Amino acid sequence: MKKNTLIVGNWKMQISLKKGRELAQELESALAAEDAEVVVCPPFTHLSSIKTHLRKIKLGAQDLFWEEAGAYTGEISPLTLREIGCSYVIIGHSERRQYLAETDKMANQKVKAALAHSLKPILCVGESKSEREHNQTLEIVEKQLNLALEGVSDFAELIIAYEPIWAVGSGETPDPSDANNIARYLKQVIEKKYPKQNKESVRILYGGSVNGKNVHSFVSQEDLSGVLVGGESVDSDEFIKIIKNLM
């Protein structure tokens, strides 16, 4: 496996607590002898229970709110996520942007909250089909990145998931070399913004219709350091296949 490869499973709202426990146990058993950095991101209601079944695998959340406490019905604070045992948190996923009106400003507040509470943010950026067809991909992802990092002076670790909206759950993917070019561009944007930042503190993942057949073609690219897996991450056989195909 390439150095610093990260594999993140976003369970979304696709699995019951009972099935989630079984999945966590199956993954831990299958990966006990593997040298892989794997994160699973269950629904909020599953986090505490799933944590008890994890040893090697890390726990992540699918979202967070930027305040530590308050009258924010239905939200979850970074303090709570840390208390549960989360190390990572997904921010700005395209489904939240599309269905829940999440903005770049909100993503910025969440990134700041995550960093302030020692949670590793997995910031999602990506273009729509129309934006891609109009050759706006680089413009869109740079704008999303800059707005999400506004006011962030430095960070211990930052993960960017390039996740083209049109590829999420569609079975379509960009050519791996195209995804790599976008990853390289994102790194250049970050290096320009943070010239003193350790380059190894930033990792770029690819997300969008990742499976056991195509995962190696993405992670073998020079500037991609892993994958953000959606639907296939709740299928134990397929997720294990994805991980082992990178070993």
Instruction: Check which CATH number belongs to the domain holding 92 and give it.
Output: 3.20.20.70
SS3 226: strand
pLDDT of residue 1: 66
Query: Structurally, how many domains does the chain consist of?
Result: 1
Q: Give the structural domain span for 215.
A: 6-244
The answer, yes or no, to whether residue 35 has pLDDT greater than 70, is yes
- The answer as to whether 129 is a domain residue is yes
Q: 88 or 170, which is more confident?
A: 88
156 has pLDDT over 90: no
* Residue 184 scores a pLDDT above 70: yes
* Tokens 């995962």 belong to residue: 215
Would 1 be classed as within a structural domain?
no
74 is a domain residue = yes
* Among the listed residues 157, 205, 211, the one whose alpha carbon sits nearest the alpha carbon of residue 180: 205
Q: What angle do CA 131, 137, 142 make, to 5 degrees?
A: 125
Calpha distance 190→183 (Å, rounded): 11
Taking only Cα atoms into account, the Rg of the chain, rounded to an integer number of angstroms, comes to: 17
- Residue 247: CB atoms within 10 A of its CB come to 10
29 to 23, 56, 127: CA distances (angstroms): 10, 10, 37
At residue 110 the predicted structure's pLDDT band, cuts being 50, 70 and 90, is very high
Does the pLDDT of residue 136 top 80, yes or no?
Answer: yes
Q: Which residues are catalytic?
A: 93, 163
Task: Establish if 230 belongs to a structural domain.
Answer: yes
- What are the structure tokens assigned to 157, written together? 């670790």
List pLDDT tens digits, range 195-234. 888 878 899 999 999 999 999 999 999 999 999 999 999 9
